[in-house]
């Protein structure tokens, strides 16, 4: 453990500067979304039509979005996005709801997908509607809606990379949206769940400027440009070689299996619920949920082998 090792004042000042940069990054991300909303109010941009399709997943992305703050989801829907279909919060049901999708296809719209696409048995493992007596599978819906969408956004690791839905043994033969469509222009916002700041910020950027700058895996660099490790408040302990031996200790959790050094995401910057609510802040290690290898490639999530 190294009880005689202390974090130097120089390292502490480095951490303070890092924390200040985290605040700047978070404010910048929120400002992007708010600027887009203001542009709509001023008539610079029109409210964008959007379809949010929830397919095979845990619906954690929707819960995360509903917990958004400043701007919250109500403000987003009223002032910014014309969400013509969003299964979890739409008032319409049945064929009327599906007809809203069909009508939107004749407009300029953004297609947002959460969840992976099951392929087994011709997609019957996930159906999103019954229309005129026919079951509409997730496969059919994704293919139909994606065809003329101005932008396609995958939200959550299942939609982006397959995630837990496609984890071994993958009984439904689920795949990511980009793999199913065979396209490399899908904008990916991974996370289990994705942070609402990342979702709204990306939508805001698209509304104001078009497609954001993406990394090699299709993720916006504004929210996935740094390793979690680089912005972690416990990084100073890692640099000093001081590691926690059990959960609940304040030192770096790298030797407990933390995946922060290999996972790109702004979890330490944006966090959740306007608090310190994120894995490290809650005294548990990063499990790499925003990465393309999650969960099979990051298991086991806790590893005492490094001690």
Residues 6 or more apart whose Cβ sits within 8 Å of residue 20: none
User: Would the pLDDT of 237 be above 70?
Assistant: yes
The binding site comprises: 58, 158, 192, 229, 232, 252, 258, 267, 286, 289
Tokens 């005492």 belong to 304
Report pLDDT digits (tens) over 39-81. 766 767 778 899 999 999 999 999 999 988 877 888 888 877 8
Quick one: which of 202, 180, 185, 190 has its CA closest to 81?
Answer: 202
Asked if 120 contacts 171 with a C-beta cutoff of 8 angstroms, the reply is yes
The binding site for [3Fe-4S] cluster comprises: 267, 286, 289
Domains, the chain, with CATH or none: 23-220 (3.40.50.700), 228-298 (4.10.480.10)
pLDDT computed for residue 6 by the predictor: 43
Report pLDDT digits (tens) over 132-163. 999 999 999 999 999 999 999 999 999 999 99
pLDDT band at 193 (very low <50, low <70, confident <90, very high): very high
Asked if 234 contacts 285 with a C-beta cutoff of 8 angstroms, the reply is no
How far is the C-alpha of 129 from the C-alpha of 297, rounded, in Å?
Answer: 34
The binding site for [4Fe-4S] cluster comprises: 58, 158, 192, 229, 232, 252, 258
How far is the C-alpha of 39 from the C-alpha of 44, rounded, in Å?
Answer: 5
């Amino acid at each position: 453990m190294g009880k005689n090792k202390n974090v130097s004042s120089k390292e502490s000042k480095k951490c303070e500067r890092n924390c200040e940069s985290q605040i700047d990054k978070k404010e910048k991300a929120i400002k992007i979304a708010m600027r887009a909303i203001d542009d709509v109010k001023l008539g610079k941009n029109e409210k964008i039509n959007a379809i949010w399709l929830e397919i095979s997943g845990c619906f954690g992305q929707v819960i995360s979005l509903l917990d958004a703050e400043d701007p919250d989801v109500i403000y987003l829907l009223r002032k910014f996005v014309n969400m013509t279909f969003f299964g979890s919060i739409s008032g319409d049901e049945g064929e009327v709801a599906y007809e809203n999708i069909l009508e939107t296809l004749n407009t300029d719209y953004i297609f947002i997908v959460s969840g992976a696409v099951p392929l087994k048995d011709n997609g019957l493992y996930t159906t999103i509607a019954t229309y005129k007596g026919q079951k509409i599978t997730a496969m059919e819906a994704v293919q139909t809606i994606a065809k003329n969408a101005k932008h396609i956004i995958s939200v959550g690791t299942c939609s982006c990379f397959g995630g837990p839905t496609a984890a071994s043994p993958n009984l439904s033969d689920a795949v990511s949206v980009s793999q199913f469509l065979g396209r490399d222009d899908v904008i990916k916002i991974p996370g289990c769940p994705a942070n609402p700041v990342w979702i709204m910020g990306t939508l805001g950027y698209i509304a104001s400027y078009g497609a954001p700058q993406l990394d090699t895996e299709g993720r916006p660099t504004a929210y996935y440009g740094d390793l979690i490790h680089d912005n972690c408040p416990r990084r100073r302990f890692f640099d000093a070689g001081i590691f926690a031996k059990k959960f609940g200790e304040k030192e770096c959790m790298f030797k407990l299996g933390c995946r922060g050094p290999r996972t790109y995401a702004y979890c330490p910057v944006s966090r959740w619920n306007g608090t310190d609510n994120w894995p490290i802040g809650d005294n548990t290690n990063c499990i790499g949920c925003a990465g393309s290898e999650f969960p099979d490639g990051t298991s086991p999530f806790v590893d005492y082998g490094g001690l």
